[in-house]
């Protein structure tokens, strides 16, 4: 009798002893991306962002500023619906997360996302041109985000785009931002900047679970009463337009400290840690 192989396949393999293509694809899907791969992915995205024209950055930033106050509206709706419930704050934080889901999945320009994505190319290859481009992007996107949140606050209160009950709830929720003035807001903003940067870092590995990744960590920011400068600007501008807060007072005592804390948490902590663990994106 012949001792030649009869061509039968081994479990999980092909008749020639290789691995079936579907099995290889499934293994690839289950494999975790290495830190270096994530770094290179985000650095490539950051390089693209640095090359975008100012006009494109501006309108994308304005769109993000208009969309992110969805967090305030959704949080207010849940806050009103669960009034008197011991878990009111925790449940309302689910609404807080929705604005981030909308902005990030829609690929709009959010300032706190850029505290990591456009910084990685600069860390990997620090040049004067990249520093200038990063600074330009930060400035344009930040101002555009604020323009969008102010426009949304003005339209919401002056044109009555939501019900009086929801408007009252939005103002009630927004008054919490007054507790984030000065050093208190600065320190509460550091974890928020870190978590937003962590979301950006995790998205390449999320593989169809991006919605839940964003939802969980944005919920944590809201539930933990951490401070986010763009959501905070939406709350500040609501109070300004309503006549409860001065514009300069809100900007100088609340938004500037929170801005500094978000940058330190997103860039000073997370971006440098991400760069350090990959040794600049090299094995």
Q: Which two tokens stand for residue 205?
A: 């590995």
Which residue from 119, 71, 98 is spatially nearest to 264, judged by alpha carbons? 119
Kindly tell me the sign of the dihedral angle through the C-alpha atoms of 34, 38, 41, 46: negative
Which residue from 183, 134, 156 is spatially nearest to 73, judged by alpha carbons? 156
Which residue from 1, 149, 17 is spatially nearest to 71, judged by alpha carbons? 149
**What is d(CA 2, CA 21) in angstroms, rounded to the nearest whole number?**
30
Tens-binned pLDDT, residue by residue, of the chain (283 aa): 444 445 444 444 444 444 455 444 444 444 566 777 877 888 888 888 888 999 999 999 999 999 999 999 999 999 999 999 999 999 999 999 999 999 999 999 999 887 787 888 887 888 888 899 999 999 999 999 999 999 999 999 999 898 999 999 999 999 999 999 999 999 999 999 999 988 988 888 887 889 999 999 999 999 999 999 999 999 999 999 999 999 999 999 999 999 999 999 988 777 777 666 666 445 4
CATH code, residues 33-278: 1.20.1080.10
**What is the residue extent of each domain of the chain?**
33-278
Its pTM stands at 0.84
Cβ neighbours of residue 203 closer than 8 Å, sequence gap 6 or more: 104, 210, 213, 214
Provide the pLDDT for residue 32. 63
- Determine contact, residues 196/115, Cβ cutoff 8 Å: yes
Provide the pLDDT for residue 140. 96
Provide the pLDDT for residue 30. 46
Provide the pLDDT for residue 36. 78
**What is d(CA 57, CA 227) in angstroms, rounded to the nearest whole number?**
24
Provide the pLDDT for residue 38. 79
- Determine contact, residues 35/283, Cβ cutoff 8 Å: no
């Amino acid at each position: 009798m012949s001792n030649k192989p009869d061509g039968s396949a081994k479990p999980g393999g092909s008749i020639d002893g290789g691995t079936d293509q579907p099995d290889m694809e499934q293994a690839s899907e289950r494999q975790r991306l290495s830190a270096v791969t994530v770094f290179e992915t985000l650095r490539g995205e950051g390089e693209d962002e640095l090359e975008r024209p100012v006009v494109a950055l501006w309108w994308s930033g304005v769109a993000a500023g208009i969309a992110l106050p969805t967090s305030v509206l959704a949080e207010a709706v849940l806050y009103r619906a669960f009034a008197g419930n011991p878990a009111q704050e925790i449940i309302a934080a689910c609404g807080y997360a929705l604005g981030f889901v909308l902005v990030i999945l829609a690929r709009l320009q959010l300032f706190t996302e850029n505290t990591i994505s456009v910084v990685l190319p600069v860390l990997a290859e620090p040049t004067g041109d990249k520093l200038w481009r990063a600074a330009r992007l930060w400035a344009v996107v930040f101002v555009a985000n604020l323009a969008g949140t102010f426009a949304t606050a003005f339209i919401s209160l002056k044109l009555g785009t939501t019900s009086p009950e929801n408007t009252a709830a939005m103002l009630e929720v927004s008054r919490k931002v007054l507790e984030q003035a000065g050093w208190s807001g600065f320190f509460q903003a550091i974890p928020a900047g870190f978590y937003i940067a962590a979301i950006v870092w995790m998205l390449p590995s999320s593989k169809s679970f991006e919605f839940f990744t964003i939802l969980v960590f944005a919920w944590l920011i809201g539930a933990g009463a951490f401070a986010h400068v763009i959501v905070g600007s939406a709350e500040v501008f609501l109070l300004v337009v309503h006549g409860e807060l001065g514009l300069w007072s809100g900007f100088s005592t609340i938004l500037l400290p929170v801005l500094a804390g978000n940058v330190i948490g997103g860039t000073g902590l997370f971006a440098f840690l991400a760069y350090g663990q990959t040794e600049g994106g090299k094995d």
